[in-house]
């Protein structure tokens, strides 16, 4: 089974004090134990960077650039990074037009475009509702992984 990891799953997995930390880590471990392949994309890492380097007072992790670079390097060693390609962008354009996506949800459509391009059927996400419109993929909550 192939899964794309949503950015919040990655963030929670490295944030031991967050209430969703154990759920994220347990889901990742369970999937790896089932021989699933777990993917990320550059968008995940860009979103990760934004949250990691944002101040704690602004709902970020308050990490330095060096800390963030180190963690991203570890994530890249642990999970498979699917590269951006012109095909991903073309697929994104189709999706935002087809589903009339607006505002911040364009980022969700981009994850779905990566999934379609690389034939990744499952998305591990805390935000199931954000992906309901995309019938091409199956969004799975970390708490439901068994």
- Tell me the CATH number at 8: 3.40.50.1010
What pTM, to 2 d.p., does this model score? 0.95
Domain that holds residue 100: 2-144
- What does the buried/exposed string (b/e) look like for 125-143 if buried means 16 or more CB atoms within 10 Å of the residue's CB? bbeeebbeebeebebbebe
**What does the radius of gyration of the chain's CA atoms come to, in whole angstroms?**
15
Could you report the per-residue pLDDT of 36-55, keeping only the tens digit for each? 999 999 999 999 999 999 99
> How many domains does the chain divide into?
1
Q: What is the pLDDT of residue 138?
A: 98
Write down the pLDDT at residue 74: 97
Tell me how far the alpha carbon of residue 100 is from its chain's centroid. 22
Degrees (nearest 5) of the Cα angle 145, 82, 40?
35
């Amino acid at each position: 089974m192939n899964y794309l990891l949503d950015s919040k799953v990655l963030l929670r997995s490295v944030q031991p004090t967050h209430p969703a930390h154990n759920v994220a880590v347990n889901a990742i471990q369970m999937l790896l134990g089932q021989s699933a392949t777990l993917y990320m994309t550059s968008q995940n890492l860009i979103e990760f960077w934004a949250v990691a380097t944002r101040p704690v007072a602004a709902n970020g992790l308050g990490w330095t650039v060096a800390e963030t670079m180190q963690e991203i390097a570890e994530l890249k060693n642990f999970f498979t990074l699917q590269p951006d390609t012109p095909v991903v962008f073309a697929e994104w354009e189709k999706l935002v037009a087809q589903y009339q996506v607006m505002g911040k949800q364009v980022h969700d459509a981009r994850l779905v475009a990566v999934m379609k391009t690389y034939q990744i059927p499952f998305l591990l996400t805390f935000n199931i509702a954000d992906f309901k419109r995309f019938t091409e993929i199956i969004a799975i909550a970390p708490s439901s992984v068994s």
